[in-house]
Structure 1
Amino acid sequence: MTSAATSSDTARSISDIAPPSVWTKLAYGVGAIAYGVKDNGFNFFLLLFYSQIVGLDARLVGLAILCALVVDAISDPIVGYWSDNFRSRWGRRHPFMYASAIPVALSFYLLWNPPVGWSQQSLFFYLLGLSIVIRTAITLYETPSAALAPDLTSDYEQRSSLIGYRFYFGWTGGNLMTVIMFFLIFPTFTTDLVPSGQFARESYAVYGIIASVMIFAAIMISALGTHSRIKHLNPPPPKRTMTMGRVFKEIFETLSERAFASLFIANLFGAVATGLAGGLTFYFLVYFWGFSSIQQGYITLGTFLAALIGFVLAPIITRTIGKKRGAMIIGLVAFLGAPVPIVLRLLDILSSNGTDFVFWFVFVTNVVDVGLIICFQILVSSMGADLVEQSELKTGRRSEGVFTSAMTFVRKCVQGFGLMAASFVLALANFPKGAAVGEVPQESIWSLGAYYVPAILTLWIAMMVFVSTYSISREDHEENLRKLAEKKVISSGT
């Protein structure tokens, strides 16, 4: 057999590893429910709960989340690097996944059950402390768990499929908890004294219990469901003397990849935009559009359809026009179209609140737009997975955890800079704290939309500019696999 034939066979052995079974994909995907539930809670309910119900100043809520982000700047890359190099009979990733289950669930429960009667200062430090604990605990799970994707398959198209499961369950799992809130929990606590259970403290106490159980179950199902694949995953690099200097040197060496910088900065802008949008979602649904709790529940139900659109569309886009080109086209359509209903209302083109047309117009545009956004996120995440082999060629190490931790850190900016931006939009609009529906001045409602639209469009356009600089194509990825195969042939002496 010629050396060229040997290289070709070895290349196929890398890219043609038996793809993950449907069960493995499901288990891997279900794990995202934990982050999805936590994410939805932080994005949609946290600012509203602590500012409008608990009574903590909205700016202090944003500040607490932002301060906790500083801790992540240190913990995320360390956990990622640690899981890349961890040695155990359960592989590199699973020990972290199992260890995180109880701390994540318990701290999330405590977040929604703050003490009654505490001062603003005490509530601020309570929120700050729990935010740090939750961030650290979810990092111990999400970073090693998400880092499994490049290990489970190296195939260009299969990665989009596998990551599609992750995003589908992440969106629908977190959304399911939101639907439960609107259709079951909020109605239960609606009384004559509290016309909407959305403003009842007891609603969020129940939410904390149910959400914590879902988080714990999702982590354990994912860890157990992918446990059998441990023996097929890549081993850690050879043992070497480790110092803090060497650790950070290797982290920076890994993250110096130019294609990574493109995705990192793009995701940074995208995460802040998502946090801004998420933090104000229910302000728009409740105050700007005047939707009832049931109508808000239906809007939330639409996310299940949106997740299905993204889940089905992303592999098709990957197969037909490629990840980067698809992400650019889908992203531009989604992000330019997202604020259209708000703009039409600001221009008095859309009819008044309370009509069926307004509700269904917002519902349909939201489903389509969120579906395209999910597709975009899957494509960009799959682009990130393709960085692993390019980095391995350069450094000689597989660093899935380091890359994933960097992106996890970006996603957590959703709760940091994103919620901070949302709190300042509310302040600029002179939005009153604790106001019921009908008590907010029309000037504040109009200003909410007027400040929000240019802010969100600026962030999304900046994100797309950096996505356009990403440079790894399908051909580049396959060439990286071929070169890695040749290096294995040379190192094995065959």
Structure 2
Amino acid sequence: MASTPKADESSAAPSVSAPVPLGLKITHGFGSSALGIKEGGFNYFLLLFYGTVVGLEPGLVGLSILIALIFDAITDPIVGYWSDNFRSRLGRRHPFMYASAIPVGLSYFLLWNPPDWSQMGLFFYLTFLAITIRTFITFYETPSSSLLPELTSDYEERTSLQSFRLFFAWISGNLMSVLLFGVLLAGPLGMQDRSGFETYGIIASCVIFAAIIVSSAATHHRIPTLSKPSKSAEPFSIRRVTREMFEILSERSFIALFIATVVFSIALGLNTSLAFLMLRHFWGFSEEQIFLWTTTVFLSAGMALVLTPIVGKRMGKKKATLLIGFFAFTIQPAPYLLRLAGLMPENGDPMLFPLMLSINIIDLSLIIAVQMLSYAMIADLVESNQLRTGRRNEGVYYAAMTFTRKSTQGLGVLSAGIILSAIAFPQGEELANIPADTLWKLGALYAPALLILWMTALFCLSRYKIDKAQHEANLAALSERSPT
């Protein structure tokens, strides 16, 4: 019979179950602003800026992002595994976090202040910076997220910590969007104002740098209480790394959570890539109304921050995720399906915008809550894996999820492109007169596609097995194994 892995002294789980101070939750969560700003810039502004303002061929912009994603697929798990096994007087995580601040801040500034080079020169410039930014944001985000299971072993406190991280990620990314569209590009040149994007680059890079430094410094005093790398008698080798990675990622609950996150990200990518198009053309909202729509994200994120820990504590993460997710993912496509059935107010009706805005505020808060709860589940995988392998591998788990969040939204954009191509959606000047049947087809493909993706993600989440009782049993078992 195979022997049960033992957790040696260096890899023992930290016994930290006391409530995490609010100040630490805020500062640790604030660090996620770095990823939120970077994701917002890459998802919403990069193609617009380089393709229409700088003048780089859109296809080359897409190729640059694809190359950077390929590098991500390699570097993300390496950084996760490296930070799990790194030894220094600053612990496993903080050396990576501190080292990322200047490269990320500087490269993000340079991204929005490109030189006047040729097409190929700009292509290599963009590609180099995209790889640099994505790599060093991983150097920060993966180790920083991996601190969460070590800052507390308490089931509910982990949900609260994760809620603050996603709260800051959402509001920081949206704040930059509001600043850019509402202030920096509000002049006569509008979205063609290169100086507006350059100013955005200065502000955003400074906030990213500050978020990384503040968050890293705020958790610095916890270094002595954090876990140390597990000791292995086996020398380092590619074979050992491959075997350990397979052991870590073969956890059934992780596989369920990973697939759910992939599908969830595809749905989110589909939704965000078509959001402005649907608001402007399907619902006929004005630019002023769309701007107001964007500002309400702050309200939704705040509601989710309050709601998530309460519901998670009362129901448990899994049950709360499934229940909130069911409401969120049926509410979102409902207005489109009702419009197709002729049961929504017509475009231009004074009741339409307030009705849709109210629905969106509530629904987005529920969607963010689902994200907070599902990402909080990652933390509870750590002790389950430690019981099986004798190692704490927070970095590998969070690296997998970080890569998923960064990459699979591109599949959502691809899905959006397929829908637009399938209905021959007009472009350019033709957007002024879109046929009614084209808009009907758009809604008929968009809403069911979202519904199917959301429900598939919930089904995968239902296969996750670790509840509060199982988590506490894992902690108890690890406590018995730990040396006295």
Find the counterpart in structure 2 of residue 337 from structure 1.
331
Q: Give, in angstroms, the shift of residue 311 of structure 1.
A: 1.0
Find the counterpart in structure 2 of residue 374 from structure 1.
368
Comparing 17-26 and 309-318, the one that deviates more: 17-26
Q: How many residues align?
A: 471
What CA distance in whole angstroms lies between the structure 1 residues aligned with 2:455 and 2:62? Answer: 24
- Is the 2:14–2:225 contact (alpha carbons within 8 Å) kept by the matching residues of 1? no
TM-score by length of 2: 0.90
Q: Give, in angstroms, the shift of residue 285 of structure 1.
A: 3.0
Corresponding position: 1:261 with 2:255? yes
Q: Give, in angstroms, the shift of residue 129 of structure 1.
A: 3.7
Q: Give, in angstroms, the shift of residue 400 of structure 1.
A: 0.5
Output the amino acid matched with 1:292.
Answer: S
Find the counterpart in structure 2 of residue 420 from structure 1.
414
Q: Give, in angstroms, the shift of residue 55 of structure 1.
A: 5.9
- 1:279-317 CA-partner distances (Å, limit 9, x unpaired): 222222334334333322221221111111211111111
- Is the 2:36–2:169 contact (alpha carbons within 8 Å) kept by the matching residues of 1? yes
Instruction: Report the CA distance shift for 1:326/1:136 in structure 2 as closer, same or farther (over 3 A).
Output: same
SS in 2 for 1:386: helix
Corresponding position: 1:144 with 2:137? no
- Which runs of structure 1 show a deviation greater than 6 angstroms over 4 or more consecutive aligned residues? none
Instruction: Report the CA distance shift for 1:303/1:34 in structure 2 as closer, same or farther (over 3 A).
Output: same
- Is the 1:85–1:92 contact (alpha carbons within 8 Å) kept by the matching residues of 2? yes
Q: Give, in angstroms, the shift of residue 448 of structure 1.
A: 3.8
Superposition pairs of residues 349-428 of structure 1, within 5 angstroms: 349-428=343-422
- Is the 1:14–1:485 contact (alpha carbons within 8 Å) kept by the matching residues of 2? no
Instruction: Report the CA distance shift for 1:200/1:448 in structure 2 as closer, same or farther (over 3 A).
Output: farther
- 1:24-78 CA-partner distances (Å, limit 9, x unpaired): 1111010011111111222333344455555666666555434432222211111
Output the amino acid matched with 2:158.
Answer: R
Q: Give, in angstroms, the shift of residue 181 of structure 1.
A: 2.1
Comparing 365-374 and 428-437, the one that deviates more: 428-437
Structure 1 unpaired stretches of 5+: 1-12
Q: Give, in angstroms, the shift of residue 103 of structure 1.
A: 1.9
* Cα RMSD for the two superposed structures: 2.5
Output the amino acid matched with 1:209.
Answer: I
- 1:4-32 CA-partner distances (Å, limit 9, x unpaired): xxxxxxxxx96554332111111101001
Find the counterpart in structure 1 of residue 219 from structure 2.
226
- Is the 2:14–2:226 contact (alpha carbons within 8 Å) kept by the matching residues of 1? no
Superposition pairs of residues 53-72 of structure 1, within 5 angstroms: 53=53, 61-72=61-72
Q: Give, in angstroms, the shift of residue 363 of structure 1.
A: 1.3
- Is the 2:53–2:193 contact (alpha carbons within 8 Å) kept by the matching residues of 1? yes
Find the counterpart in structure 2 of residue 294 from structure 1.
288
Find the counterpart in structure 1 of residue 100 from structure 2.
100
SS in 2 for 1:273: helix
SS in 2 for 1:247: helix
Superposition pairs of residues 191-202 of structure 1, within 5 angstroms: 191=188, 194=189, 197-202=190-195
Q: Of residues 199, 206, 209 in structure 2, which corresponds to 1:206?
A: 199
Comparing 303-312 and 231-240, the one that deviates more: 231-240
Comparing 405-414 and 275-284, the one that deviates more: 275-284
Comparing 438-447 and 73-82, the one that deviates more: 438-447
Instruction: Report the CA distance shift for 1:124/1:425 in structure 2 as closer, same or farther (over 3 A).
Output: farther
Corresponding position: 1:451 with 2:445? yes
Comparing 150-159 and 69-78, the one that deviates more: 69-78
Comparing 132-141 and 413-422, the one that deviates more: 413-422
Find the counterpart in structure 2 of residue 282 from structure 1.
276
Output the amino acid matched with 1:341.
Answer: P
Q: Give, in angstroms, the shift of residue 154 of structure 1.
A: 0.5
Q: Give, in angstroms, the shift of residue 261 of structure 1.
A: 0.4
What CA distance in whole angstroms lies between the structure 1 residues aligned with 2:224 and 2:419? Answer: 50
Output the amino acid matched with 2:278.
Answer: F
What CA distance in whole angstroms lies between the structure 1 residues aligned with 2:281 and 2:111? Answer: 25
- Is the 2:16–2:151 contact (alpha carbons within 8 Å) kept by the matching residues of 1? no
SS in 2 for 1:438: helix
Output the amino acid matched with 1:162.
Answer: L
Instruction: Report the CA distance shift for 1:319/1:358 in structure 2 as closer, same or farther (over 3 A).
Output: same
- 1:72-111 CA-partner distances (Å, limit 9, x unpaired): 2211111001001111111111111111112222332333
Comparing 262-271 and 305-314, the one that deviates more: 305-314
TM-score by length of 1: 0.88
What CA distance in whole angstroms lies between the structure 2 residues aligned with 1:422 and 1:333? Answer: 23
Corresponding position: 1:88 with 2:82? no
Instruction: Report the CA distance shift for 1:105/1:118 in structure 2 as closer, same or farther (over 3 A).
Output: same
